[in-house]
Amino acid sequence: MIIYTHPACLLHDPGPEHPERPARLEVVLETLRSHHAEADWREAPIVKLGDLRRVHDEALVREVLEADVSGYRMLDPDTVMCPASRAAALRAAGAGVAAVDAVMNGEDKTAFCAVRPPGHHATSAAAMGFCLFNNIAVAAAYACDKHGLERVAVIDFDVHHGNGTQAIFYNDPRVAYFSTHESGIYPHSGAPYERGVGNMFNALLPPGSGGFRFQNTWADDLLPALEDFKPQLVLVSAGFDAHMRDPLADLMLETEDFGWITRQLRDIANRHAGGRLISMLEGGYDLEALRDCAKVHVDALR
């Protein structure tokens, strides 16, 4: 297994009291280095501008990369840049591209990208929801265009709907998007009727839902659709904020629920994609829960 990360991702600082803080990545790296020291640890490269432009408008690329940031710069009420944010965003997106090359070239079957800022809310035109660039979308588009894949699956179990990922691929049948997310919270998208060109699969979980409903929803609805899609590559937006301890939402998942879903996805990758599975860190804002969930997730990937 390959683990991608970079020190630049620790320097992105949205400000005091912001939930998407550097300590999130610190606890993930601490537990992975303790339990997976033998993994193939690699430095996340800087993403190429052409790879960003596959999914992002030139205006957004310029806004993130060329704007003068001398203190804190707010892109929206939740999304803040500091002088170090540019480098972090370039490395976070670059990790996904490097991971695609590595698994497609047979260097390993699985990779985990321990990076931040997260990405799944960023649309083609806008940074939002703590996200600057859409890391998983950059990776998916790269896999299709550079490696000629016709069926790339993005699985998103973050508690918030990945509105940016859905919007980017809404009319692109090469990429199918599968998501469970809490109903009634940010970003207020991801209804089951949002189907794209038949490639969008959304399931809402009411507040208070626990592991029983989460697992049954995946087992009964989303995993069969993923099987039918027969993905050539499985990409995971690994957000752990559906955990019962998380302060930003109201689902009641336990740590082992994330191990369960990861094993299901690994099995599907083995059946259809030659085992090729890449996971990228998204949300998760309680440090203890994030640490534990990242461990069981990576354990299951291995």
Q: Is the pLDDT of residue 185 over 80?
A: yes
Q: What is the pLDDT of residues 202-237, one digit of tens each?
A: 999 999 999 999 999 999 999 999 999 999 999 999
Q: Is the pLDDT of residue 67 over 80?
A: no
Q: Could you tell me which of 49, 81, 78, 50 has the C-alpha nearest to residue 64?
A: 81
User: Can you give 102-159 as a three-state secondary structure string?
Assistant: HHHCCCCCEEEECCCCCCCCCCCCCCECCECCCHHHHHHHHHHHHHCCCCEEEEECCC
Residue 28's pLDDT band, with cuts at 50, 70 and 90, is: very high
- DSSP sequence for 185-225: STT----TT--TTTTEEEEEE-TT-BHHHHHHHIIIIIHHH
Q: Identify the active-site residue in 121, 160, 272, 297.
A: 121
Residue 251's pLDDT band, with cuts at 50, 70 and 90, is: very high
Looking at residues 274-292, what average pLDDT do you find? 98
* Catalytic residue status for 120: no
**Structural domains of the chain ordered from first start:** 2-301 (3.40.800.20)
Interatomic CA distance for residues 38 and 34, integer angstroms: 9
What the block records as the tokens of 193 is: 């009727």
